[in-house]
Structure 1
Amino acid sequence: MTSVGAPFFVLEGPDGAGKTTLARAVAADLAASGLVHLDRRQVSTDSAYAALLMEPLARMLWHSGDARDLSDNFWAHLQASWFTAHGEQVVAPALKRGPVVVDGWFYKLASKLTGQGWGAEELAALFNRVRTPDHVVLLDVAPELLWERKATKLRPAELGMHGQYDELGRASFLAYQQAGLDQLRARARTEGWHVLAVDADETVQETGGRLTRLITDLLDRSAAPNANSRKETPL
């Protein structure tokens, strides 16, 4: 399901790529255009009933700690439920007011599940009814840089808890994140995402500036009478 009207943007990338920081920055830069940032963990503010059901989902997904007691199958279906509700109850109402950027969608999870043995058909069926963004921007950041940024703040799940590693640490993190990034790159090529490569010597402000220019261009295109179809844009 794609959005109708204002464009729906998603920033995607591996753990620690800066999705939330950059989504907030670009929304602030383009506030005059009506662009707003929606946190991917936000519950509905339009429906008290939807919020009541989404709040325990959010707690289970992001505030219950990391353990292997429940299978990937359980967590994957929980995520599919979450992004279905988020697309319907958070993104859709906001798009009636103007363009939206969300800091991550289900694609990162799907990239990790692929590495854990899930097939393309299984993943397509699982996320088939989740709202599809109009534009996805892949933040392409090398795992080595991610390690430097987040080494002291990493959770077991980010270190590769659900992968086949003898112990969790730098080696497991690099292997796990690289495998996920390779899957995201492949999806970017197949689905025509925009790719923003982030170098080690680039500041957050510089990356944010490039992202702002890209989204400004896409907003201009969407406003044109004959807007171009989306295509991969390496920057």
Structure 2
Amino acid sequence: MAPDAPRGRGRFITLEGGEGAGKTTLSRALAAELAGAGLPVLRTREPGGAPGAEAVRTLILHQGPWDPVAEAMLHFAARREHVAISLEPALAAGIWVVCDRFADSTLAYQGAGQGLSREVWEQLCDLSLGALRPDLTLVLDLPTERGMGRALSRGDANRYEMQGADFHGRVRAAFLDIAAREPGRCAVLDAVRPAGEVLSAALGTLRDRLGAPL
């Protein structure tokens, strides 16, 4: 039997948004839909997604507070490991990647939330990511109070979830600003809607933007 034809490069889809927006729920559903359509899929998350990055995740979420630059550097250290060990090999092998958070979260949380400058964020992106950028970013948006209510109702809150309404309001505004600046890469989804409707909107965006056979 002849060997399979080599696959092209995979597509890199990131999910962004504040606490309680439903990113994890959507990432599971998207990965299942893509796999059901016969596409190879990797579902992953940040901080994390590789053994070393998962170790840093525990440090980031449950220790601190940190200086904003130091905290961003921790995120990008985990992200670099994720890129090198998991993301780039998967994409090179033709795998579609669905990632719960990526570099936009650092710009929103450490930038708008904690005062990290965009210049430092861009320098860390260039150093850690090389040319890698998402093909599509889905920004899940909902009112801050509603998102925090969802997040805190889960119990075992991490230190980001325990920040006040002002912090999370700045984070929400930052994600919307990112989407407005890069409309070709980003699509905003109304996360107030039921999960099934959010999934339908996301699938439509994947079909329109990436030609996904869904």
Q: TM-score, normalised by structure 1?
A: 0.74
Of 196, 202, 214, 1:205 maps to 196
> Structure 2: 5+ residue runs without aligned partners?
1-7
Q: Partners of 2:67 and 2:181 in 1: how far apart?
A: 29
Residues 1:15 and 2:19 aligned together: yes
Residues 1:195 and 2:188 aligned together: yes
Secondary structure of the residue aligned to 1:194 is strand
> Structure 1: 5+ residue runs without aligned partners?
44-50, 161-171, 224-235
Residues 1:112 and 2:113 aligned together: no
Equivalent pair of 1:8/1:100 in contact (CA under 8 Å): yes
Equivalent pair of 1:159/1:176 in contact (CA under 8 Å): no
Secondary structure of the residue aligned to 2:18 is coil
Q: CA RMSD in A?
A: 2.2
Residue identity opposite 1:21 in structure 2:
T
Question: Offset of 1:69 from its aligned partner?
Answer: 5.6
Equivalent residues in 2 for 1:86-97, closer than 5 Å: 86-95=82-91, 96-97=93-94
Q: Counterpart of 1:83?
A: 79
Q: Partners of 1:114 and 1:65 in 2: how far apart?
A: 17
Residues 1:39 and 2:40 aligned together: no
Residue identity opposite 2:125 in structure 1:
F
- Per mean C-alpha deviation after superposition, the further-off stretch among 107-116 and 184-193 is 107-116
Identity %: 24
Q: Counterpart of 1:157?
A: 160
Residues 1:132 and 2:144 aligned together: no
Equivalent pair of 2:60/2:74 in contact (CA under 8 Å): no
